[in-house]
Amino acid sequence: MSDALDHPLSRAREHRHWLTTSDGVGIDAALLRGAEPRTTAVVIANGFTGTRRSPHTRAIAEALYSAGDVMTFDFRGHHGSEGRSTVGNAEIHDLEAVLEQLRELGYTRVATVGFSMGAAVAIRHAAIFGGADAVVAVSGPSRWYYRGTRQMRLLHVGIGRRAGRFFLRTFRKVRVVDRKWSVRPAEPREIAGEVAPAPLLVVHGDSDGFFPTTHATAIHGAAREPKDLWIEPGMGHAERAVTPDLAGRLRDWLTERLRKDEPDA
Residue 1 in this model has a pLDDT that exceeds 90? no
Report the amino acid identity of residue 249. Answer: R
Residue 218 in this model has a pLDDT that exceeds 90? yes
**122-158 residue pLDDT tens:** 999 999 999 999 999 999 999 999 999 999 999 999 9
pLDDT at res. 106: 97
What SS3 string covers 25-66? CEEEEEEEECCCCCCEEEEEECCCCCCCCCHHHHHHHHHHHH
Count Cβ atoms below 10 Å from residue 166 Cβ, excluding itself: 11
**143-198 residue pLDDT tens:** 999 999 999 999 999 999 999 999 999 999 999 999 889 899 999 999 999 999 99
* Sign of the dihedral through C-alpha 245, 28, 105, 46: positive
CA 240 to chain centroid: 13
Question: Which candidate, 97, 102, 104, places its Cα nearest to that of 75?
Answer: 97
Q: List domains and CATH numbers for the chain.
A: 3-144+185-254 (3.40.50.1820)
* Residues forming beta bridges with residue 251, ordered by sequence position: none
pLDDT at res. 207: 98
DSSP-derived secondary structure letter, 9: G
Residue 14 in this model has a pLDDT that exceeds 80? yes
Q: What percent of the chain has pLDDT over 90?
A: 89
Residue 265 in this model has a pLDDT that exceeds 80? no
pLDDT at res. 260: 54
Cα(92)–Cα(81) distance, integer angstroms: 14
Enumerate the H helices of the chain as residue ranges: 3-6, 55-64, 91-104, 117-128, 150-160, 162-171, 188-191, 214-222, 244-258
User: What is the chain's mean pLDDT, rounded?
Assistant: 94
pLDDT at res. 11: 78
Q: Which residues lie closer than 8 Å to 12 by C-beta, 6 or more apart?
A: 32, 33, 34, 65, 69, 265
